[in-house]
Amino acid sequence: METQKLHPIQEKLLRLAKNRNISNLSLREIGELVGDRSAQKIKHHLQQLEKKGLLRIDRVRGTIEKPKDGWIDGFLEHGKRLLQIPIVGVANCGPAEVLAEENVAGYLRVSNSLVHRASNKGLFAVRADGFSMNQAKVHGETIDNGDYLIVDGGDCVPAEGDVILSVIDGAANVKRFHKDAAHNQVVLTSDSTEDFAPIYVGADDDFFVNGKVIEVIKRPR
């Protein structure tokens, strides 16, 4: 993927949004700060940035989310780029009750600096549903309801204690992996502020590992 070239006004808007809160400014006031007082032009360029996934505009709360660290002139810092990661459904963070979905529901546009990968090869995303992993930490981020989880589908042989996405009887779930060799079973546990019983998986059960959770993309609060 090549670095996108932005309109000069859009570059100025990104720099401005990085350095200050612009959600409490009128379109005309924003325009004055970027050198173009046309409210319609500013509205257009903000909408274009939103479509490109570079700004998030919440029209209900009246907020404009700042870009992530790494945005600078010309779009991204040198060596960084956006990856398109397919979203393949929802994974339950409670009991394994939500059916796994194979169809792509959309794409997350994520800086490769956030997933520490040069490409999106083998990566996909699921949306977390529930609170059973809200004390788990993946690179310092907890897994809360509504967050997007980036999964490495090429890493299907988990190590002890890995946070994994797996499917049990056709239902997707996110849990911490433990191998109980003494009893020939896998134990999936929750890291939660609530009390969730472990899931015990035997050798003959309909169970497989989809991949390892490598990053959490937090839902805007």
Rounded-to-integer distance, Cα 210 and Cα 129, Å: 17
> What's this model's pTM, rounded to 2 decimal places?
0.60
> For domain 82-217, which CATH number applies: 1.20.120.430, 3.40.50.300, 2.10.109.10, 3.40.640.10?
2.10.109.10
CATH architecture designation of domain 8-76? Orthogonal Bundle (1.10)
Q: Domain segments of the chain: what residues?
A: 8-76, 82-217
CB 16 within 8 A of CB 33: yes
The reply to whether 8-76 and 82-217 are identical in fold is no
Q: Would you write out the chain's pLDDT as a tens digit for each of its 221 residues?
A: 334 567 888 888 888 887 788 878 888 899 999 998 888 888 888 877 777 667 777 655 556 765 554 444 444 454 566 788 888 877 766 555 544 555 667 788 888 878 888 788 888 888 888 888 888 889 888 898 889 999 998 888 999 999 999 988 878 889 999 999 999 999 999 998 888 899 999 989 989 898 999 999 988 76
